[in-house]
Structure formats: C-alpha cells, structure tokens
C-alpha cells in the first residue's frame, strides 16, 4: 500500500513506514496491513524475523491519524473511531505476541501509535534523534495502544510521570523506562538491517554504551500520590514547576483516567488485559470525554487552547473504564 512498503527481503519480513510528510502517522488501513503481514509471516519458513523501520529523519511514527476519527464523530458517526482503535489494538497485540523476533528501528518522534508499533517489538533499537512520548492527555485521550502496559512496568513512578506530563524522552531514558532495548547510532542502522536480512539472526544486534538516563536519578515520588489532586498539590508545595506545568495544561479527566489505567495495568498478566481496559475509554472517548475538544485545539484548529469541560471525578473515571458488555474488545480470534 502507498503508506507502507511491505515485502520480504532475504530472511526478513520488511515493514517500512512511507508517510514521511505526515510524520508516518498511523491510519486504520495501515494498522490492518501490518496485522495482515504478520499473520502471513507467522508460519512462513522463509521469514526468520521481521524488521520495522520508517522513511525520513523526523519520525518513526508520530502517532495515530486521528483527524478522520474527529471528523466522523463531529458528524455524528462514532463507529469510525471505535473501529480504528479496535483494529489498532489488535495489531499491537499481534506484534507483542509474534512468535518470531521483530526488530524495530525507531528514529525521531515515536509517539502514541508509534509506541504501539515499535514499543511492543522484541528488539527495540533507538538512536540519538529518538524522542519517545505518550502525550495523549494533551488531546483528551489516554496512553493507549498498550501504553498503559509499558508505563506500568517502568521503574518507580516513571510510568505515572510520563502518562500525566506527556514528557518526551531520549534514548537513554527510553531504555531505562523499558520502552527500548538497544542504543545504536543511526548511521549504523542500514548495515545492521542488511545483515539481518541476509542471516535472519538477531544475535547480530550489538548496541553501544547507553546514553545517560536523567530519569534514573530524578525524584518522582510526588507521582506516587493517591489522586491527581494529591500529586499536583505535592508538586506545588515542592516547587517542581517543570513537572506541574503540563499537568495544569492537560485534560483533567484524561490525567485521572491515565493514572487509574497505569496502576490497574500493574496487575495485568497479558498486555491484552491493558488494551481491553484502554479500549473501554477510547470506545467512549468521542461521546463522554474531552477528546473531540482536545483534537480540535491541538490538531484541527491548532489554537493550542482547549476548553476542558468533561467530568473528571472518580465516579466518571470508573464509569469510563467499566466493561462494555457486547462491545468489549475480543481476542480469541487474534491469539
């Protein structure tokens, strides 16, 4: 397809994002195509591993292409978003559960939907330009695409910090937080990909010394607060303005729900459990949250001035995360 280059080269299945002008934003069709390619390669004896990379220096994938979701919902059709999220999450799970190695080369922006592709690969390579983030609270959403699963497994309170602030992290912090595995200068990536194609042997992946991780020494204990209000109060009292500033800017409902999602995911045994919980929020996102206003302000009108109005109470958060009954995301056919 036009937005992806999917092929087999040597021993490797190859998936390359080719939407450089849109920072390789992920559409529903792209999610379906990635999933279909993986299904086709599961039992293909010619494919020893899968390599996922992207064209362009600016981004591996800067997020999901949600403008279409916004347009449909504004017109009264909420099914477009629900189908998009369902297909995207099933693709995320297929990457995480793939029985062969998947090697992701993640340069530039790796955000939201990009984390859902690269962050669940078995071998995740980052370089000097890498900037990883889950910035969904800024558009009235939550860290989805299995983001709550990854965040829940970060050391200490890094998960809460990244979920609530949407902070961008470089290679060293990404490896420390569990979003990546290997640091390798980007000029060395083409040669490694060529050798992986030729041999199908992931033991050839040898990283270099990991850049320093600032999060490793940062005191994020404030993010252990029981509620969003308690976290913000502690940050205010301790004068941590850099951390507090995005919390005053992001959707209160999204941050409260993100806090609940990350903490709930710590008890999950499979990523599908986290994805199912995320889907309960995103299924309801276009009707009961700040999502449409956030997308309008940040992506459509770009005035960067969202008017958050959704109920951010604990009662509403729990209602948004409650099971969907017949609409629950099903996994049986995607195991």
- CB of 131 within 8 A of CB of 108? yes
The DSSP bridge partners found for residue 6 are 15
Give percent of the chain with pLDDT exceeding 90: 96
| Residues catalogued as catalytic | 64, 113, 136, 144
Tell me, what's the pLDDT at 332?
67
**What is residue 60's three-state secondary structure?**
strand
Residue 210: both structure tokens together:
């990991």
Distance CA(33)–CA(88), nearest Å, equals: 10
Residue 318, Ramachandran bin (φ over 0: left; ψ between -120 and 50: alpha; else beta): alpha
Distance of CA 178 to the CA centre of its chain: 13
pLDDT at residue 76 tops 50: yes
**Residue from 19, 5, 26 nearest 56 by CA:** 19
Provide φ and ψ at 62, rounded to 5°.
-90, 5
Q: Mean per-residue pLDDT for 167-185?
A: 98
Count up the domains in the chain and report the number: 1
Tens digits of residue pLDDT in 138-166? 999 999 999 999 999 999 999 999 999 99
Residue 331 above 90 pLDDT?
no
pLDDT tens digits along 1-47: 789 999 999 999 999 999 999 999 999 999 999 999 999 999 999 99
- Mean pLDDT, to the nearest integer, of 287-292? 98
Q: Is residue 171's pLDDT more than 60?
A: yes
Contact 232, 244 (CB under 8 A): yes
In this structure, what CATH number is given to the domain that contains residue 233? 3.90.226.10
Q: How confident is the prediction for the chain on average, in pLDDT?
A: 96
Whole-prediction pTM value? 0.96
Residues facing 12 on adjacent strands: 9, 49
pLDDT at 9: 98
Distance CA 179, CA 162 (A): 12
Q: What range does the domain containing 38 cover?
A: 4-334
So what's the pLDDT on residue 335?
A: 44
Angle at 214 between CA 240 and CA 227, to 5 degrees: 40
Alpha helices in the chain (DSSP H): 28-41, 67-74, 79-96, 113-118, 147-152, 158-165, 171-177, 189-199, 228-237, 241-249, 252-265, 271-288, 291-295, 314-320
Q: Give the pLDDT confidence of 213-265 residue by residue, as tens digits.
A: 999 999 999 999 999 999 999 999 999 999 999 999 999 999 999 999 999 99
Non-local CB neighbours of 77 within 8 Å, separated by 6+ positions? none
The encoded tokens of residue 294 equal: 């956030």
């Amino acid at each position: 397809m036009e937005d992806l280059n999917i092929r087999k080269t040597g021993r490797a299945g190859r998936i390359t994002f080719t939407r450089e002008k849109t920072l390789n934003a992920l559409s529903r069709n792209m999610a379906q195509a990635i999933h279909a390619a993986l299904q086709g390669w599961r039992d293909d004896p010619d494919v020893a591993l899968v390599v996922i990379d992207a064209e362009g220096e600016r981004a591996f994938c800067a997020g999901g292409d949600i403008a279409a979701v916004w347009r449909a919902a504004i017109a009264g059709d909420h099914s477009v978003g629900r189908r998009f999220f369902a297909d995207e999450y099933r693709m995320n799970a297929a990457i995480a559960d793939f029985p062969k190695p998947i090697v992701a080369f993640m340069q530039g922006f790796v955000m939201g939907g990009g984390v859902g592709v690269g962050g669940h690969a078995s071998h995740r390579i980052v370089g000097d330009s890498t900037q990883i983030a889950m910035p969904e609270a800024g558009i009235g959403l939550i860290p989805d695409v299995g983001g709550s699963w990854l965040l829940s497994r970060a050391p200490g309170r890094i998960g809460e910090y990244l979920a609530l602030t949407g902070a961008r992290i470089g290679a060293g912090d990404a490896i420390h937080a569990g979003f990546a595995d290997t640091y390798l200068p980007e000029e060395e990536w083409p040669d490694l990909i060529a050798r992986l194609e030729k041999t199908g042997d992931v033991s050839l992946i040898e990283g270099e010394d990991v850049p320093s991780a600032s999060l490793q020494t940062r005191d994020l204990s404030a993010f252990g607060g029981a509620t969003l209000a308690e976290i913000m109060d502690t940050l205010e009292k301790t004068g941590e303005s850099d951390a507090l500033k995005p919390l005053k800017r992001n959707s209160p409902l999204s941050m409260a729900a993100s806090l609940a999602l990350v903490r709930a995911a710590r008890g999950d045994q499979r990523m599908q459990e986290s994805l199912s919980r995320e889907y309960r929020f995103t299924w309801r996102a276009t009707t009961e949250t700040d999502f449409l206003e956030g997308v309008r302000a940040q992506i459509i009108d770009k005035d960067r001035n969202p008017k958050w109005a959704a109920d951010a109470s604990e009662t509403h958060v729990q209602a948004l995360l409650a099971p969907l009954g017949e609409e629950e995301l099903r996994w049986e056919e995607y195991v």
